[in-house]
Structures are given as structure tokens and as C-alpha cells.
Structure 1
Amino acid sequence: MNEKSAINGSYSAYCREHIHEFKRELRDEASRAIIGWPGRVAAILLAASSLLNYIYLSSVDSPDAINVMFTYSVSILLVVLYPIVCLIFSTVEKYSPFVLDLLCISGVIGFSITLSYIFHSADVSLEQQDVTRPMAAQVSFVVMLVTAFSFHATYLLTFSRNVLFTLIVGVSLYLVDADFIEEAILEVIQGFLIGSMISWLFFEGIRTRFYLKATDAHTRQHLHKQLSKLVYSHQLERIKLGEELEDTLPLEEGKAIINVFDVQKSGEIRHQQTKSFFLGVFRSFWAICMRDYGHSPLRSRAFRLKETGDGYISAFGYPFLSSDERSLADSAVATSLDMFAAFDLEVEKFNYSRPIKGAMGLAYNSVQGTFQSEGIRSYDLFGDALVQASKYEELRSHPLFADILHSHAQGLGLTHYHIMIVQEVIYNSLSQPYRELFTEINLDDDCFKGFQMMNDKEAKYIYFYLFE
């Protein structure tokens, strides 16, 4: 019992905290009730009741027979005209709970007028009793019906409404026939009590449904927000459509340029905000990779493969197609230079006491996508291009190449510099402006006798670009 009370309390508190949303929900519910089948059924029943009363009064030659056909006309017109008025004046819809109340009041008044016509037709005492008894039985049902369903945001307002409606019924019946109210008073009270009990259950049902619906929507929104941190937006959309996660990214073999980025001498960085610095670098790289991201076909400037503590690996051409109109090689080099520029901005914000520079290795070869076989299925790439790009980036530490790079930097007047090393096939695929950036190393020179490029044995030339 305590647990149930706590749950009901949470529903009540949630609705109070979100009173405006709750009111909107109630307005929508009331509007649907008027426009939908409840309103239509009510209009049909009222019309049928008018017709039956007309037939009865006609059978006793009552002069009011034709009048009884119009006693519920206001209620019926409200149901018929409400959707039309809402189409013309959309603001009317927000008053739908009060329109429903007006429908109930007009129905009560119509019922009272109908009774007056029926009682007027009963001109002998015996017939009067025969009429008033079944009518008294109907009073309880009418009061229950108009008090049972309400769409107001607090039950206090609903209860006050029910009291008002019951008083209107009582006064109307008194005006119709003072003697009849004495016979029907218990029916009025009974209808009020039953209707109020139903209205409380109805109110609790709406409040509970609103709470569950709202919290479920909040939960879905939160899950969507968190899942968007794990997968791309096109994956979320396809998963929503019923596709498996493994079908949302390419798994077949393809070709790509892999860029392996590393921070030179990162182990020597001593700063309180080192972690924040690297996070800033990776965020800026991610923003560059996601430029021109599109779903059909899958495309972007680059695909972020992974962050490696102080390094970053990205792919051009697979699994996302390049969004750049230039050649894949030009796009890869241009995007890599954008990454260096973004890196420099983060270094400037980092305000370190010594220069911090980066190095990149770029290689073009086969790659293939894969999802992990068990557990959390993260996407990964494997293939020769990744191995080769890593080896090209590591060349800067090889003694032979380190001397060449250092000597070339001295000739340029550079003490601290960024390094970009690219594979021969990439260099040959570049347009002339980008080729002019690079310096060639011929692996057939005597100084490289016995040297063989690991994992790229057919390499004859290596190209590098040094800049501040």
C-alpha cells in the first residue's frame, strides 16, 4: 500500500511540475473525444433520443412533439461544428475541455426541457406517475454521465465542476416540476456520487498515462542522445527501420588512404591540462572529419577510425566516400593539412612552454570493415593500408630518415616542425600544387643499401613535407 501511494504521489508530483504539458495533453484528449467516436456516438444517441421522444409525444397528440426534436440541437451542433471551427480557428482547440463542459451543460438543459414537454403531455394523475417514475430513473444516469468525464488539470476543479453540474440539474428539475424533484432527489445524489467516483478513476488514468508517456518519451530521447555518441546518425535511422547494426556500415574489402597522426615527443609533455589538450585536438579533428557528412551515399571528408591516447587514425575513401570533388589523394593531403592547422590552434590555446609538433604517415592500400564478433559491437578497419601508414609515420624515428629530415629542416631554417610522410602511390596521384610541397627520398641511393621499407617492399621512393 505504501509503495502504491508513493507511485501515485510521484505521478501527482510529476503532473504538477509539468502542469503546462499536462494541460496540453488534456486539451488534446478532450479535442479527440469531441471529434472522435465518443462525440459522434453522443450526437447519434441524442438525435435518436429526440426522435423517440417525438414519436412518443406524437402518439399522445402533444402540441410539443415538434419542439422536442430540437431540445438537444445545441449539443449536437457543438459536436458537428467543433472540428470545422477548429480548422478555421485553430486556437479554439485549446479550449476543448470547456467546450466539452458546455456540451454537458447543454445536454442537461436539453434533458430538462424534454422532461417539461413530456410532463406537460401527461394531463391525468395516473399517467403523470407512469411518466415520472421512469424519468426519475434516467436522472441518475444523466447526472452520472455529465460528471464522470472531465479533462481539467486538477481534480479540485473537476469536483467543483461536478458539484456545479449537479446543482444545475437539481435547479432545472425543480423549475420543470417542483414535485418531481422530491421524487428524483435521491437519484440526483446517487448519480453525483457514482459520477464523482468514476471521474476520479478517469482522472487518475489520464494522469498515469501522461506520466508514463512523458517519462517514456524522455527515456527514449535520453537513449537516442546516448546512442548518438556510439554510432553515426545514419546508423540510428537504419536501426529504427529494423536493420541490424552490422548492416549499417560497409564490411566488404575496399581501398582507402589511411592517415596515422602522432604527437612528437608526447611523453615529454608535462602539464596539468595535458588530457584536456588532447581531447581538444581530437574534437577538432572529429569536426574536420565530419565535414559534409551525408547519408546517401555515405560520405564525409574523412572517417575517424580511432583515438590512440596521443594519436589519431583516420581513413579517406572507406567506409565513407570522400565528399571532396578533388581526387582522393588531394583531398587526403588537404584534409591532413587542415588537421595540422587545427592542431596548431589547440597548441596555442594550450600555451605550453615549448613548441609541440605533430607527425603524419599516409598510405593507400586495401582495407576492410568489421564488427567485433561478441559483446559490444564496435566498428573497426583492418588491412595493409593501416599497417603501412603506421610504418610511414614511424620512419621519422629511423636514424637514416631522422638525419635526412633534420638536415632538410636546417636548410629551411626550421628548428621545430611538423612532418608529413606519404607513400609513393599517393604522391603520384597528387595534383601539381600538392606535389610541389614534398621532397623525394630515393631508396636506391647508396645510403639506403640494405634498407627495405617494412610492409611495403616494392616502395622505391618516399616523400616528406616539413613545415612549421
Structure 2
Amino acid sequence: MAAGSRELVYLQTIRDEEAMRSHSYAQLGKIVYPHQMKMIQGGRILEETMPTSDSEAVVISFDIISSSRIQHEKVKKFLRDTFSRCTQAMMEGYDPDQLQAPAYRIKEVGDGFLCSVGYPFRTLSGSKANDALQLAFQFHKILKEESQVLHSEVPICCGIGLALDSISGFYPESGAKEYDVFGRSVILATRYEAMRKYILEEDQGSSIIILQSRVYESLDRERRDGFKKFDLREHRITVRDDSGATCLYYMLLS
């Protein structure tokens, strides 16, 4: 083979390898964050790209109320678009160098989702409670905007629970190395969101935000405006997995 031909074959091989590498990185970028890609390209292993230490975070549990009753033909599109926009809101202002972002999407649960504020990503403002509440209001706004496609005669509402407690990240010992988080804050967020059944009347067309008392007390004073105290002892009710709680705080969103 002539020297010129060998050089062309060599260059084509280099181009093919580069194309394959670019494709691999593009596909990997669908399941990891940009900072993880950068760290992996720099020689770090996957398990070192996300925090696995013990910490605290505010976890938000978001659930669309009575979503199974929605019969509109576009309900799947409505849910998909709502969750997609909420996920985008969690990443607005994401800083791969400082490992900051509004929230981390933990997982979708039924017709809702869980996300954490303050771990594994640092908060944007320095306050987990303030940032989580602001994000909760944004989720509700997204729901109201996206639900317009349904032209529903009854309001499409949501329940949002916020709890502040322990949280940790981990990679499984075996199988696919998919990052996940767990902790008391994740459990309590769902428990507080579920308390809506004791606060909302069955036919009341309102969304609701429910705060664990620790979240409420961590808010700036002006952000507490509009929340009502719900005395658990007076109503002889306990929050599951938080039996020591004496009260919670809630706000109805029309």
C-alpha cells in the first residue's frame, strides 16, 4: 500500500474512533450530570463523582391529587410535560464547578415525584428551607399552566410536602451503578404530603403545601406569611414515622 493510502486509512481510523468516543460520551451524558462527565474524562471513577456522605436536606414530595380520575385524552402528555418542566426547574442555575443546583430529582412516584434541596447539590441561596419553598411554589405554578390543556371543569390540584432531616447518597455494591439517595427526610416528605387528607375537605378544589415544623421554623420570617398552624394533638392525629411532632403548617393554593 502506498504511503499516501496508508495515511488516509490511518486518518479515517482516527476519525472513526473519535466519532465513536463522541457518541459514547453523548449517550453517557443522558444518565449522568455534566460535572460527572468532566470528572470521568479526567480519570475519576463513577463512584467518586457524587457525594455519598451523611448530610441533611429538605425533601419535596409532589403529588397530583386524584390524577387517576382525569379522563382527558391528553392526560399522558399533561403529566409528561408537567414533570419535564419541574425537572428543568430543579436544574435552573446548575453550576457543575460548585456542585450547586436548585434540587436533585430523586425519582418519580406514581403521578408525582420526590426531589431533595441541599443534597447532593448545594443550595443556590444558602438556605435549604427558603429554596425548597420557592421551588414548591414554582412546581404548583407549572402544574396550573400545564393543566390548561385539559380544559377541566374542576381544578387540577396537587399536594406538596416538605421535610428536613437526614439524607445520604450511595451507589449499589453490585449491579448497575445508579446513584440514589435515602434517609429520613425522604420518608418524612411523603408522610407530610399525605397529611392533606386530614386538612383538605373531600370536595375542596385547592392545592396544598404542608411543612414539617422544622422546615417552617427554618424559613425567613417573611416567607412564613400565609401558613396556618395545624395542631396535631388537638386533632388527635400523629404523622406516621414522626410521632413526636406536635404540629405542622400548611397553605392552601387556589
Asked if TM exceeds 0.5, the reply is: yes
**Structure 1 runs not aligned, ≥5 long:** 1-197
Q: Deviations over 1:285-309 (max 9, x none)?
A: 1111112111333111111111224
**Structure 2 runs not aligned, ≥5 long:** none
Q: What secondary structure is seen at the aligned counterpart in 1 of 2:233? A: coil
Q: Deviations over 1:12-55 (max 9, x none)?
A: xxxxxxxxxxxxxxxxxxxxxxxxxxxxxxxxxxxxxxxxxxxx
Q: What secondary structure is seen at the aligned counterpart in 1 of 2:39? A: helix
Aligned to 1:405: 200
- Say whether the 8 Å CA contact 1:364–1:425 is kept in structure 2: yes
Could you tell me how far 1:350 is from its partner in structure 2? 4.3
Q: What secondary structure is seen at the aligned counterpart in 1 of 2:195? A: helix
State the distance in 1 between where 2:71 and 2:54 align: 42
Aligned pair 1:465/2:227, yes or no?
A: no
Could you tell me how far 1:347 is from its partner in structure 2? 1.2
Matches within 5 A, 1:99-110: none
**CA spacing shift, 1:443–1:342, aligned 2, 3 Å:** same
Aligned pair 1:214/2:15, yes or no?
A: yes
State the distance in 2 between where 1:352 and 1:203 align: 70
Aligned to 2:193: 393
State the distance in 2 between where 1:427 and 1:307 align: 25
Matches within 5 A, 1:20-419: 201-325=2-126, 327-352=127-152, 354-397=154-197, 401=198, 404-406=199-201, 415-419=204-208
Size of the aligned set, in residue pairs, is 254
In the alignment, which of 209, 220, 240 is matched to residue 420 of structure 1?
209
State the distance in 2 between where 1:362 and 1:368 align: 17
State the distance in 2 between where 1:238 and 1:311 align: 32
Aligned pair 1:452/2:253, yes or no?
A: no
**CA spacing shift, 1:210–1:342, aligned 2, 3 Å:** same
Could you tell me how far 1:353 is from its partner in structure 2? 5.1
Aligned to 1:431: 220
- Say whether the 8 Å CA contact 1:423–1:462 is kept in structure 2: yes
Could you tell me how far 1:219 is from its partner in structure 2? 1.6
- Say whether the 8 Å CA contact 2:147–2:156 is kept in structure 1: yes
State the distance in 2 between where 1:211 and 1:348 align: 53
Q: What secondary structure is seen at the aligned counterpart in 1 of 2:162? A: strand
- Say whether the 8 Å CA contact 1:363–1:423 is kept in structure 2: yes
Larger Rg: 1
Letter in 2 for 1:344: K
Aligned to 1:48: none
Aligned to 1:161: none
**CA spacing shift, 1:353–1:391, aligned 2, 3 Å:** same
Aligned to 1:136: none
Higher relative contact order (CA 8 A, sep 6+): 2
Could you tell me how far 1:352 is from its partner in structure 2? 4.3
State the distance in 2 between where 1:371 and 1:363 align: 24
- Say whether the 8 Å CA contact 1:301–1:324 is kept in structure 2: no
Letter in 1 for 2:242: D
State the distance in 2 between where 1:287 and 1:351 align: 24
- Say whether the 8 Å CA contact 1:257–1:385 is kept in structure 2: yes
State the distance in 1 between where 2:230 and 2:152 align: 33
Instruction: Report the structure, 1 or 2, having the larger strand content.
Output: 2
Letter in 2 for 1:461: C
Could you tell me how far 1:222 is from its partner in structure 2? 1.6
Q: TM-score, normalised by structure 1?
A: 0.52
State the distance in 1 between where 2:6 and 2:72 align: 59
Could you tell me how far 1:355 is from its partner in structure 2? 2.6
Could you tell me how far 1:210 is from its partner in structure 2? 3.0
State the distance in 2 between where 1:467 and 1:226 align: 40
Q: CA RMSD in A?
A: 1.8
Could you tell me how far 1:224 is from its partner in structure 2? 1.3
Q: What secondary structure is seen at the aligned counterpart in 2 of 1:376? A: coil
Letter in 1 for 2:200: L
**CA spacing shift, 1:351–1:373, aligned 2, 3 Å:** farther
- Say whether the 8 Å CA contact 2:154–2:205 is kept in structure 1: no
Could you tell me how far 1:452 is from its partner in structure 2? 2.4
- Say whether the 8 Å CA contact 1:293–1:300 is kept in structure 2: yes
Letter in 1 for 2:120: P
Instruction: Report the structure, 1 or 2, having the larger helix content.
Output: 1
Runs of 4+ in 1 over 6 A off after TM superposition: none
